[in-house]
Each structure stands twice: as structure tokens, then as C-alpha cells.
Amino acid sequence: MTRVFQAVVIGVSTGGVHALQKLLGQLPADFALPVLIVQHMRPDAGSGLAKLLDKCCALRVKEADELDEILPGTVYLAPPNYHLLVEREGFLSLSADPYVSFARPSADVLFESAAAVFGPNLIGVVLTGANFDGSLGLKTIKQNGGVAIVQDPADAEARQMPQAAIAATGVDYVVALDGMAALLQKLAPRRTTMPHDMRGRDA
């Protein structure tokens, strides 16, 4: 039986603004899946990145709020200085818990919470970055049956995050940024078949 994915989670750090502009800018307006993103940023960074990405993308891009409902075809960006988590009821939550992997927001926190909800119906992506955040979370996604995608380290502005993710688990795809959007479109369901129930496998 063909697997129907329900969400994409992305972790990115150094070089992330350019990478996200390129990746999200290549996704069509009818891309079916919600996209949840952790971009490392200063605690006082403000909401400028979400506004910038929203202008260059066909999809709606917004900074995540507490209790946002996870909707198809919407991009949610973790706000500065808050962890972003997926709740089993299909909503987002924010946390000011301590730094994880030297980061808040942390990709590991997002990935692990999303893996617990979406299980094998989750796509995890690690892009350019200068630390190891996301590697343990991507391993958790794989352990729960999801798909792991990593930007080719040779193609990344900062190789450390992709290299750490590849070392941590058996990834399914290692691709250059130029090919990332096409791969996600290949994996994603058509908008008309997007499941309305976002509560995950065990809800």
C-alpha cells in the first residue's frame, strides 16, 4: 500500500535563509503537505524571516503560534527563542524549555515530537548548518518509519549539520538543494488526497 505522507519537518542553520528561499520558492501553490521549519536564529531576531519567505513563496509562510492548527500547504516557522513542537491533536505548541543541541528553537525537539505523532507518515529534512542539531531527531524519524532527507554536504554552505545527520542514521536521500523541491513533490500526495485527520497514526 502506498504511504501517504502527512507533514515535512526541516532543520537548518547557517546558510538557511538562502536555502529556504530556494527550496520553498520552488514548491507549487498546490503542494499538499504542511511544512514545519526550525531555522536557528538570534533570540531577538523578530518575525522578519517569515515575512521574507512568504513574499517569495507560492505557499503561505507564517511564524508559528501557540495552538496553531497544522494545515495542508502551509509553512510554519519556529519563532525566535522558542522550541516548536507537534501535539497529537494536530496542533502546534511552543516551549521556552532549555536549549537542546545548543539551540532554541531546536530541530531535534521538532523532529522528535513530529515523529511521535506522524510516525511513518513524516518526512524529515536536514539542510545546511554549522552544528549537529537535527541529527538525533532525524534518527528518531527513521526509527519511527519516516523518511530522512539530507542536503548533500558538498552542496551546503555549512556542511556540519548534513554530515552529522548522515553519520547518525541511514538516510533515504542525499540530494543537492536544487533537487530538493522536486523530491518533496514526488513524495507528497496531491492536495485532493490530503488527509483531513492530522492527529497521526495513534490518535
Residue numbers annotated as active site: 13, 40, 133
Do the beta carbons of residue 100 and residue 83 sit within 8 Å? Answer: yes
- End-to-end Cα separation, the chain, in angstroms: 21
Cell numbers standing for residue 181: 523541491
Q: 106-116 burial, b for 16+ CB within 10 Å, e for fewer?
A: bbbbbbbbbbb
Q: Characterize the bridge pairing of strands 92-95 and 83-86.
A: antiparallel
